[in-house]
Amino acid sequence: MSGAEFVPLSLVPLLTGIFVAVACALPGNFLVLRRQALIGDAISHVVLPGIVVAFLVTGAVTTWPMLLGAAGAALVAVIGIEGVRRLGQIESGAAMGVIFTAMFAGGVLLLEQSDTSNVHLDVEHALYGNLESLIWLDAVGWSSLWDAQALATLPVELPRMAITLVFVVLFTVVFWRPLKISTFDEGFAQTIGMRTNLLGLALVIVAAIAAVAAFDAVGSIIVIAMFICPPAAARLMTNRLERQVAWSVVFAVVAAVLGYVFAGYGPLWLGFADSVSAAGMIATVSGVILGLAAVFGPHRLRGSAAPVG
Amino acid sequence: MIRDALLLGLGYNATLVTIGAALLGMAAGVGGTFLFLRKRALVSDAISHATLPGVALAFMVMVMLGGDGRNLIGLLAGAAITAGTGLLIVTWLSTRTRLAEDAAIGAVLSVFFGFGIVLLTVIQTMSAGRQAGLEGFLLGSTAGMLRSDALVIAVSAALTLALVMLLRRPLTLASFDPEYATSLGQNVTRTDLAMMGLVLAVTVVGLKIVGLILIVALLIIPPVTARFWTERTDHVVLIAGLVGGVSAYVGAAISAAVPNMPTGPIIVLVSFALFAVSLLLSPRRGVVSALLRHRAYQRRVHLRQGLLALAQGQPIYERLTLRLLRRRGWALPDGVPTPEGQGRATRALRDEVRWQLVRRDPAYEVAAARYDGLTPIESVLTPDQIEDIDSRIGAGA
């Protein structure tokens, strides 16, 4: 395919998909190891009331108020889950189920009750986004990448996601040792003076930032899939955290690229005219990767601590 | 209008749906209790999201076979098949690989849902798919429902509730004490399977009413709410069924009466309101009663310490202590004890001295363990024992 077609239509969604996938998979590694995998699920549900409230307050669908609203909602949810768990002495899974379903229900209700007919805000969009719509209209080919005028019209989601990815990578690199130690042996981490509670909270906040930034571009379903599937598949490939993170990044990128390509061109290969949801397809491909790892992964079994082969 | 709906006065279809919702809510509350007690509440989230590809596939198959694709029984059957597959995969991933159950749940949930979305976009491009209305399964929609569909929902909800009632005893036993159940010869693995089958049935029947994203709330919130009111498993089951039934009934009625009120979210919010009330007001585990208990304890500690200080002639600097003593008329504003206060202070000091001796004597080890600085010694020791202690105090001093 020529650059004249690829750059305006596919480059931006493809890159955005890759950035989202990696930004979610990195914190996902630690969440999966800490058995907090469903936090991503909870966060991506509660983002909806946050952006609806932000919309009702400002009356427009603009970036910053929405991000703030979503982040606020994520914070409310974390506090709420912790509160229900402690005050009611309720197991954390159930506490999570109570809070995120109630907040999501509240968001849907607010959305249905308010007049959103002239803006692009609905439940379906929140669930599976619209990656395909991120087209770069002013691009004419690869040369546009050096053209300041064309770059100015780049869809805002791409640079935002790139910044988020840089932030997530920085967090992972800077806090690598504390994260690793506290994930595998929290007691030891505490005895050498680490603030494991704070670190755990920071991890959840970073995950929330990645989820919130990704959410607007690609919807919540891909966020949940990328938090869990690539790290879980990577977990079945190796016993070393460094390699697991590397595998998860590879899996995330493969899922994003293949998912986008299959969604856009797969139906054409099969003789259909229209493309299918890219977000849904990326989630599906990540599931296939996890399935393959679960059947063939060298470290798929419990207790396979010794290297196989 | 809402009153009409609550009294089932909004026409035959709305009445059927409301009754069906109430029956389903009861079944969900009771079934969810077992899930909650087994600490597997979020498995239902994976099951419910895994219904989406089934609904879409069933629609496509029915269209290909020449039907109109919207036959509710067919769609629900498809949903049950993929939801069951999802459940099997969760079980397989969490028992046969090293992945924990939460990762397995999240993976199945997101992948099945994502695949379902892919299928939905395929259906939108089909000529028959324009008015499929499958999006209604995401959040539940009971508006403008066909009479046959309303009947299907009411009947299947009643069947699910009957199934729950039938399985109630073995499920209670297995979720309360699995080891004891095994020793009685009950096959707990099979009971667990039955429990998941029940959850599956609730999810599938609830698709059209509550929607697949929020049905999990109907399985989780009622048992959590019920847990605030009782410590007994059989009572949790009953109360959860009641909470679920009332939430679904009221929610479905409001949704039928007021425009732009999607059924699922309303039902969830009604049950969340019941939960919030329980969290605040339940007599034993509620927030308000816990605060009151804490205040009462704090006062007792301050009074006791204040009396001890009075007895020993020490000044009291703590304002709260002084205020509490004054309010009871045991001390004057400058910290000098009143005659009544003096008497109580002497008694408190005597109690404390007795306790100190008891705590030093290994013979009173059991009694000494109950010392908390508040319990009067008379409530722990017999008069004979106290006499013994007093004689030793006299001898020692």
The pLDDT, as a whole number, for residue B397 is 45
Residue A89 to residue B285, Cβ atoms within 8 A: yes
The predicted-structure confidence for A142-166, as pLDDT tens digits, reads as follows 777 777 777 777 888 888 889 999 9
Instruction: State the Cα–Cα distance between residues B235 and B284, nearest whole angstrom.
Output: 15
Q: Do residues B141 and B250 both lie within one domain?
A: yes
| Average pLDDT of the residues in A110-117 | 76
Q: Do residues B278 and B310 both lie within one domain?
A: no
Pick the last residue of a domain from B226, B256, B282: B282
Q: Do residues B251 and B391 both lie within one domain?
A: no
Residue B314: domain span? 288-396
Pick the last residue of a domain from B263, B282, B301: B282
Supply the DSSP string of B316-383, one letter for each residue. Answer: ---HHHHHHHHHTTSB-TTSPBPHHHHHHHHHHHHHHHHHHHHHH-GGGHHHHTT--SSS-GGGTS-H
Interface contact A94, partner B, CB < 8 A: yes
The predicted-structure confidence for A13-23, as pLDDT tens digits, reads as follows 899 999 999 99
Interface contact A128, partner B, CB < 8 A: yes
ipTM of the modeled complex: 0.90
Task: Give pTM, 2 decimals.
Answer: 0.85
Total Cβ atoms within 10 A of residue B61: 13
Count the domains in chain B.
2
Q: Do residues B191 and B72 both lie within one domain?
A: yes
Half-sphere exposure of A291 (CA within 13 A, CB side): 12
Please tell me the distance in Å from A130's CA to the nearest CA on chain B. 12
Question: Which chain B residues are Cβ-neighbours of A282 within 8 angstroms?
Answer: 114
Out of A94, A123, A279, name the one closest to residue B36 (CB).
A94
Q: Do residues B238 and B347 both lie within one domain?
A: no
Residue B114 to residue A280, Cβ atoms within 8 A: yes
Compute CA B391 distance to the chain's CA centroid, rounded to the nearest angstrom.
55
Please tell me the distance in Å from A191's CA to the nearest CA on chain B. 27
Reported confidence tier of residue B131, pLDDT bands at 50, 70, 90: low
Calculate the alpha carbon distances from A21 to A162, A217, A281, B270 in Å: 11, 12, 13, 36
With 90 as the cut, is the pLDDT of residue B47 above it? yes
The predicted-structure confidence for B216-267, as pLDDT tens digits, reads as follows 999 999 999 998 998 888 888 899 999 999 999 999 888 888 877 888 899 9
Q: Do residues B331 and B244 both lie within one domain?
A: no
Total Cβ atoms within 10 A of residue B79: 30
- The CATH number of A3-296, from 1.10.3470.10, 3.40.50.1100, 2.60.40.1180, 3.30.565.10, is 1.10.3470.10
Please tell me the distance in Å from B176's CA to the nearest CA on chain A. 15
Q: Which residue has the higher pLDDT, A41 or A3?
A: A41
Lowest mean pLDDT among B13-22, B134-143, B153-162, B318-327: B134-143
Instruction: State the Cα–Cα distance between residues A59 and A28, nearest whole angstrom.
Output: 34
Domain ranges of chain A: 3-296
Tokens of B326: 């004054």
The pLDDT, as a whole number, for residue B92 is 93
Q: Which amino acid is at B358?
A: V
The pLDDT, as a whole number, for residue A309 is 41
Q: Do residues B23 and B52 both lie within one domain?
A: yes
Residues 231 through 270 of chain A touching chain B, CB cutoff 8 Å: 231-232, 235-236, 263, 267
Q: Nearest chain A Cα to B215, which residue? A: A101
With 90 as the cut, is the pLDDT of residue B125 above it? no
Pick the last residue of a domain from B282, B297, B322: B282
Q: Do residues B144 and B221 both lie within one domain?
A: yes
Residue B67 in 3-state DSSP? coil
The pLDDT, as a whole number, for residue A59 is 77
